[in-house]
């Protein structure tokens, strides 16, 4: 058995150019075990073979009392020894003994030091990077192969964690929730986790909201969280940017406001910052062949068995229950005049698809059209199963293509030719696609 009185290990170092990895020498793999180093701060750069307390003292910076050095690791030095590698580069991210091989001339110790990229922020450290390994107590010469490489990146960013819930619900938040129009949402970022130091700043932003939504974020104390109401049907994305001691990270909370199985929503494209500047309009869902003001006309002030319609800030939303063998027409009536080029009234139709969830389509009034007070925009008849509008003068919806086998396919497109009789009165309108939801013994000191 080898004991602690074996001769000193002579240590030599072969240093390669930065980012130039050395070839490995042929030899037998030699077993070793890494020991923890997180608690150390006063280590001295270099490579050291440690066979006991005397060697251990040489690992640390001079000028401190012996009793101030960290205690010797609990190792049986009759059978084992330590090899210590401490970086000479103060800002090095890490240093690691990656491999040890036994050859005819001793042990070859492969050490890799990782350096930060030039533009990466410097991470605060208690001391230089260090690695300690335990191996069998041997007198062999130790040939250190010392490679230095730059890191692939600046390292992992902090984890920006967004947890949203319906305000006052008492439920645990989640990064994705569903809600209903009119509900207030709380999103919290207190669970965000730093990689270095602590979270020092948070910044919130409403990254996306459905077309026509007028919602805004209200930021809480210290930007820990935000609150906002949901109004339009669709998806809201709440972004959180956080910074720890060195880096930035981002996270996302998603709130989906589900439309009814069949629904119609009036919204404004290019709305002004002040909703009071919008012309007043009324959304009408009319059972055909009735007209505006008739017993079949559903409005905010005249609910019907097939329709519930309400206001939501700048929106008007109708949840529909179409009755068999009946058709419905959608009309927007202008209570105030609209000038050409001003905010544009648009209507979205929603339907619950059999395979792809809700489908929707949007139609907008002509941007260059003036509308007189009391005039109407005939959006069209509603093809409820496909969330589409068609010319209300046709006796029935145009034939549509069979649904795609792909569950993620869009709503089917019209395929049959549509013959429209000459219009009695001009109705300028156009369709528009809605905007997108917007890492003494010998020693050598470096």
Please give the pLDDT value at position 3: 43
Q: Which tens digits make up the pLDDT trace of 155-211?
A: 889 999 999 999 999 899 999 999 999 999 999 999 999 988 899 999 999 999 999
What pLDDT is stored for residue 431 in this prediction?
Answer: 40
As a whole number, the mean pLDDT across the chain is 86
Give the confidence band of 360 by pLDDT, cuts at 50, 70, 90: confident
Q: Using the 3D structure, point to which of 257, 285, 313 is the last residue of a domain.
A: 257
pLDDT tens per residue across span 115-160:
998 878 777 778 899 999 999 999 999 999 999 999 988 888 999 9
CATH number at residue 190: 2.60.40.10
Question: Among the listed ranges 11-20, 108-117, 147-156, 237-246, which one has the minimum average pLDDT value?
Answer: 147-156
Overall average pLDDT of the 392-407 stretch:
71
Judge whether residue 432 has pLDDT over 80: no
Higher pLDDT, 78 or 411: 78
- Asked whether residue 331 carries a pLDDT value surpassing 90, the answer given is yes
Query: Of 257, 289, 310, which closes a domain?
Result: 257
Residue ending a domain, among 257, 280, 303, is 257
The mean pLDDT of 321-326, rounded to a whole number, is: 94
Q: Which domain holds residue 112?
A: 11-150
Residues 6+ apart with CB under 8 A from 169: none
pLDDT of residue 363: 94
pLDDT tens for 44-56 read: 999 999 999 999 9
pLDDT band for position 316 (cuts 50, 70, 90): very high
Predicted confidence at residue 7, as pLDDT, reads 58
249 lies in the same domain as 282: no
- Whether 413 and 302 share a structural domain: yes
Cis peptide before 289 (omega within 30 of 0): yes
In a domain, 173, yes or no: yes
283 and 251 both lie in a single domain:
no
Is residue 120 domain-shared with residue 74, that is, in the same domain? yes
Instruction: Flag whether 168 is in a domain.
Output: yes
- Residue 444 belongs to some domain of the structure: no
Query: For 243-276, how does the pLDDT look when each residue is reduced to its tens digit (9 = 90+)?
Result: 998 889 999 999 999 999 999 999 999 999 888 8
Please tell me the least confidently modeled range out of 54-68, 106-120, 408-422: 408-422
Taking the model in full, what pTM does it have? 0.66
Q: Which of 110-114, 224-228, 394-398 has the lowest mean pLDDT?
A: 394-398
Domain shared by 272 and 218, yes or no: no
- Same structural domain for residues 107 and 23? yes
352: pLDDT strictly greater than 90: no
Shared domain for 84 and 107, answered yes or no, is: yes
Structure confidence at residue 141 (pLDDT): 96
What total of structural domains would you count in the chain?
A: 3
For position 65, what pLDDT does the model report? 55
Whether residue 25 is contained in a domain is answered as yes
What's residue 353's pLDDT? 57
Could you tell me if residue 1 is inside a domain? no
437 occurs within a structural domain: no
On whether both 196 and 310 belong to a single domain, the answer is no
The answer to whether residues 132 and 231 belong to one domain is no
Q: 245 with 304, same domain?
A: no
Percent of the residues in the chain that have a pLDDT greater than 90, as a whole number: 71
- Same domain? 222 vs 300: no
Same domain, 327 and 210: no
Residue 443 lies in a domain: no
Q: Decide if 157 is inside a domain.
A: no
Tell me the average pLDDT across 216-245: 96
């Amino acid at each position: 058995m080898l004991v602690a009185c074996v001769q000193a290990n002579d240590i030599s170092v072969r240093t390669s150019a930065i980012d130039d990895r050395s070839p490995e020498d042929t030899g037998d793999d030699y077993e070793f075990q890494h020991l923890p180093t997180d608690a150390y701060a006063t280590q001295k750069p270099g490579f050291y073979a440690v066979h006991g307390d005397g060697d251990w003292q040489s690992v640390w910076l001079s000028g401190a009392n012996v009793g101030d050095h960290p205690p010797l690791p609990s190792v049986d030095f009759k059978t084992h020894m330590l090899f210590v590698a401490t970086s000479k580069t103060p800002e090095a991210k890490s240093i690691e003994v990656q491999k040890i091989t036994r050859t005819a001339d001793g042990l070859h110790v492969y050490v890799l030091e990782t350096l930060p990229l030039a533009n990466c922020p410097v991470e605060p450290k208690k001391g230089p990077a260090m690695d300690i390994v335990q191996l069998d107590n041997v007198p062999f010469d130790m040939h250190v192969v010392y490679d230095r490489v730059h890191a692939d990146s600046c390292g992992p960013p902090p984890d920006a964690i967004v947890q949203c819930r319906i305000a006052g619900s008492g439920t645990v938040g989640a990064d994705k929730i569903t809600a209903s129009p009119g509900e207030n949402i709380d999103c919290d970022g207190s669970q965000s986790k730093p990689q270095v130091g602590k979270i020092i700043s948070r910044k919130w932003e409403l990254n996306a909201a459905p077309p026509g939504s007028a919602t805004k974020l209200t930021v809480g104390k210290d930007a820990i969280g935000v609150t906002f109401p949901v109004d339009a049907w669709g998806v809201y994305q709440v972004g959180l940017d956080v910074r720890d001691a060195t880096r930035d990270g981002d996270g996302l909370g998603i709130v989906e406001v589900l439309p009814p199985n069949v629904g119609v929503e009036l919204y404004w494209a290019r709305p002004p910052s002040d909703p009071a500047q919008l012309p007043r309009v009324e959304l009408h869902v009319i059972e055909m062949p009735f007209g505006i003001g008739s017993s079949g006309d559903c409005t905010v002030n005249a609910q019907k068995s097939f329709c519930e319609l309400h206001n939501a800030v700048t929106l008007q939303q109708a949840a529909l229950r179409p009755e068999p063998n009946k058709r419905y027409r959608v009309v927007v009536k202008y209570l105030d005049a609209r000038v050409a080029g001003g905010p544009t009234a648009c209507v979205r139709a929603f339907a619950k698809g059999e395979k792809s969830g809700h489908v929707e389509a949007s139609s907008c009034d002509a941007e260059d059209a003036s509308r007189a007070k009391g005039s109407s925009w005939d959006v069209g008849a509603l093809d409820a199963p496909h969330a589409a509008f068609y010319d209300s003068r046709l006796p029935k919806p145009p034939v549509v293509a069979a649904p795609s086998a792909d569950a993620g396919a869009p709503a089917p497109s019209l395929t049959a030719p549509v013959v429209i009789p000459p219009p009695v009165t001009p109705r300028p309108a156009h369709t528009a696609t809605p905007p997108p939801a917007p890492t003494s013994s010998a020693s050598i000191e470096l």
